[in-house]
Amino acid sequence: MMVTIGVLAVQGDFEEHMAMLETLGVEVKDVRLPRDLHGIDGIILPGGESTAMTTIMLRRGMWDALKKAFEEGLPAYGTCAGSILLAKDIGAGSDRVKPFGMIDMVIERNAYGRQIASREVFLEEHELGEDEPLHAVFIRAPRIVKVGPAVKVLATYDGDPVLVREGNFLASTFHPELTDDYRVHEYFVKMVKGEV
Ligand code: GLN
C-alpha cells in the first residue's frame, strides 16, 4: 500500500523529516497551506518553536484546517515542538502556543533546561522491536509529566515517557530525524497504513 505523508513546513526542521521519509520510500509532501492537506494520509509536525508554528498556522488558516483533519482521523506524529502541539495540556506553557489537544497528556515546555541543554542518548526502554537501544536527540525538549489512561507509552528516558501514542496520534519529545535511526518513522508509516 502506497501512502503519502505530509510534513508541516511552516517552521522548524521539516527538511530532515522529509529526507527521512523519502529514504523510507513513501511519497512526501510539504504542507504549508490548508489546501496542501488534500491527498495526504498522515502528517508530521516537526521540531522547532511551538510559539512560531502556532502564530504562522493561525495566520494561514492552517490551525483550524489541521484541527478539523485530526478530528476526522488524519494520523499525526509530532516531534518535540510538534509533540507540544499535539498535547491536551501544556501547563503554564505559553499563551502563544495553541495545542491541538489530541493526546491526553500534560507536557511542560523547555523542562530539561535552557537553549544549550541538548543531549544525545540511547533509550534502552522502548517497544519498537529489536533489542537495539533507540537513538534519540533532545533539544530544549519538553517533558511529559502526566499521561491519561488511553495513552500508550512506547519509550521512556529516566522514567519519563518520551514516545507516546494515543489512537492515531504519536509524539516524541526527542528528534529521531537528526539520527540515522529510522524506527520511529517506520512505526509511524505502519500506523498510517493501519498495520500497528
Ligand atoms: N522549545 C521548543 C518549543 O517549546 C521545542 C524545541 C524543539 O522542537 N527542539 O516549542
Using a pLDDT cut of 90, give the percent of the chain over it.
Answer: 89
Ligand 1 centroid–CA 2 distance in Å is: 31
Count of residues making up the chain = 196
From the CA of 110, give the closest atom in ligand 1. Answer: 1
CA 178, distance to chain mean position in Å, is 13
Examine the pLDDT at 183 and tell me if it is beyond 90. Answer: yes
Please check the confidence at residue 144 and state whether its pLDDT lies above 70.
yes
Q: Which atom of ligand 1 is the closest one to the Cα of 52?
A: 10
Per-residue pLDDT for 122 more than 70? Answer: yes
Q: Is the pLDDT of residue 115 over 80?
A: no
Confidence check: pLDDT of 109 > 60: yes
The one catalytic residue among 17, 80, 135, 166: 80
Pull the grid cell for residue 140: 530544549
Is residue 29 pLDDT above 90, yes or no? Answer: yes
- pTM of the full predicted structure? 0.97
- DSSP assigned state of 47: S
Provide the pLDDT for residue 92: 86
Q: In one letter, which amino acid is 157? A: Y
Options 3.90.79.10, 1.10.10.10, 3.40.50.880, 1.10.1740.110; CATH of 4-193? 3.40.50.880
Backbone angles phi, psi at 38, to 5 degrees: -65, 130
CA pair distance 155, 128, nearest whole angstrom: 8
Question: In this predicted structure, what is the pLDDT of residue 4?
Answer: 98
Is residue 130 predicted with pLDDT exceeding 90? Answer: no
- C-alpha 190 chain-centroid distance: 15
pLDDT of 52-105, one tens digit each?
Answer: 999 999 999 999 999 999 999 999 999 999 999 999 999 987 889 999 999 999
The 3-state DSSP class for residue 18 equals: helix
Active-site annotation holds for 80: yes
Q: Please tell me if the CB atom of residue 78 comes closer than 6 angstroms to any atom of ligand 1.
A: no
Domain regions of the chain by residue span: 4-193
Going across the sheet that includes 143-147, the strands are 87-89, 103-108, 143-147
Å from CA of 55 to ligand 1 middle: 14
For the chain, the average pLDDT equals: 95
> Residue 185 catalytic?
no
